[in-house]
Structures are given as structure tokens and as C-alpha cells.
Structure 1
Amino acid sequence: MSEVFETIQQWIPAHILIGITIASIIGFIGTLIAIPIILIRLPADYFDTRTPRHWMKDHHPVLRVMGLIIKNLVGSVFVLAGFIMLFVPGQGVLTMLIGISLLDFPRKRELEARIVSQHSILKAINSIRHRFNKPPLILAPRS
């Protein structure tokens, strides 16, 4: 095992490995706190493609554009962090799902619904929501 660490240290200095480890631990703890909070605050029909969603619809156009830019930047960070968490400790798929829900791109709602409708993901989300006395998610029937 020490040979593996020596090989890795040839490419990446020890202080960077320590930094990555600390960041991974902080990210793991952060997702353990943030993801359940986000999932329990979502309306039960949030991933139902039959329900229209309009973000900041009644706000000034400049605020809406600034909000969309910030929301997409935060979503990109969540998607990237979720991808990294597929290889380090953390809730990678759920973090990526939150990131995708923040991004704006064509057919996003269908992608979200497809991800959430996966049995293990839906079960995990509804389990978290049940612990906090929130109703289970409502999904449109698959066509």
C-alpha cells in the first residue's frame, strides 16, 4: 500500500493530497447537511413534468437575468461536486441532481424526472422526506 502512496506522491505533492482530503471531508459533511434540507423544502410536485415551473417570473428582467446567471453558476458547481463525489465520499448522484435542477437547458425537466424516477433514487429521496414528515414526491406517469 505504501508503494501506491509513493507513486501518487511522485505526481501530486503531499500538501495538495492533504488539501484534497480536507476538501473531500468538508464536502461530504456539507452534502450530508445541505442535500436533505434542499430535498425536504421542495414541493412534492417539483419533479412532476405536468406542473409548470416559472422561476422569478414576477421580478424585474435585470434581476431575473442576474438570478439566472447565479443559479446556473451554483448549479454547475453542484454538478461538478457531485461528479467528484462519485469517486470520493459524498452523495454524488443526489448532489448532481440538485445541480441539474439549478441549471437551465432544453429538456431539463425530462432529464430530472428520468433521474428521480429511478427506484433507488426515488426511494432515498422519499425516505429523507418521510423522516421530516413531508409527502412523497409526485411524478408524472411514464409515457
Structure 2
Amino acid sequence: MLDFINKLIIEYEEMLLIVGIISGIVFVVSLLAMPFLLGKIPVDYFSQSNQCKRDCNFVVATIKNLVGLVLLLAGIIMLVTPGQGIISILLGLFLMEFPGKRKLELKLISNDTTFQAINWLRNKAGAPPLER
């Protein structure tokens, strides 16, 4: 059994090295970017009962959705590799537009641990804590 595992590791050594390097890069970028991006969320974003949609063009909406999708996928990967998986998933969901998004956001932010983690990261960015 150990010979089989050793053979697989040797056979896929380059791929494992690339995956390790990408994982390390994503880890460092997530550590640097998360406080900044979370600091951009308005303080009253979750306290507004009926948030109005802003008019934005198709290109901006598409870019936000693509960045959100990348953060969502990176967050899922970071659940098993080094990084801030849950925070990346939340940030990706906040950026994307889809039906039922507001209800999902409010449900996720109602968790005290998640809310405290987001406010801790906002504090690192010099942003005031979010209101509920």
C-alpha cells in the first residue's frame, strides 16, 4: 500500500508542487485582500430592511459576478487547503447577484461567530463594525 502511494506521489510530483504553490499564493492573497474587501461593505448594509438596487451597467455587473464566482470557488478550495475559506465564500456570495441573495446574506450574517469574524477583519482594515 505504501509503495502504491509513493508511486503516485512520484508520478504526480509536478502537479502536487503546482497545486501547493497555487494554494500558498491564494492563502497570502486572501490574507491581504479580505480585510480590504470587507472594509468596503457599507456599515448599514445588513441593517437596511429593504435595500434598493443601484443602477449599474452590464459590464460592471458581469465583472462583479465573475469576481464573486472566483472568490466562491477559491473559498470552497480553501476549506481543505490553507486560507480563509468561509470568509471567501461569504464575500463571493455578497458580490454575486442571484435570486434570494438578500435572504441568504441575512441568514449567514445572523451567525454570531461569522459576524464577529467579519467585524474583526473590518477592524484590521480600519473600517467601523457592521450594524445588524
In which range does the TM-score fall when normalised by the shorter chain?
0.7 to 0.9
Give distance in 2, aligned partners of 1:115 and 1:4: 43
Name the residue aligned to 1:19.
Answer: 18
- CA offset digits 1:57-103 (Å, max 9, x no partner): 1x5xxxx1122122111111110000000000000010011110111
Give distance in 2, aligned partners of 1:4 and 1:88: 24
Give structure 1 stretches of 5+ with no counterpart: none
Name the residue aligned to 2:51.
Answer: 52
Aligned pair in 2 of structure 1 residues 123, 105: CA closer, same or farther (>3 Å)? same
98-107 or 129-138, larger mean C-alpha shift? 129-138
Letter in 2 for 1:109: R
Q: SS of the residue aligned with 2:97? A: coil
Q: How many residues were matched structurally?
A: 131
Aligned pair in 2 of structure 1 residues 48, 107: CA closer, same or farther (>3 Å)? farther
Structure 1 residue runs of 4 or more that deviate by more than 6 Å after TM superposition: none
Name the residue aligned to 1:41.
Answer: 40
Report the RMSD for the aligned CA atoms in angstroms.
2.2
TM-score normalised by L of structure 2: 0.86
Of 63, 81, 91 in structure 2, the residue corresponding to residue 88 of structure 1 is 81
1:103 and 2:102 correspond: no
Aligned pair in 2 of structure 1 residues 66, 3: CA closer, same or farther (>3 Å)? same
What is the Cα deviation at residue 35 of structure 1? 0.4
82-91 or 129-138, larger mean C-alpha shift? 129-138
Q: Are 2:35 and 2:124, in contact at CA under 8 Å, matched by a contact in 1? A: no
Name the residue aligned to 1:32.
Answer: 31
Aligned pair in 2 of structure 1 residues 99, 9: CA closer, same or farther (>3 Å)? same
Q: Are 2:76 and 2:85, in contact at CA under 8 Å, matched by a contact in 1? A: yes
Give distance in 1, aligned partners of 2:82 and 2:3: 23
Give distance in 2, aligned partners of 1:17 and 1:8: 10
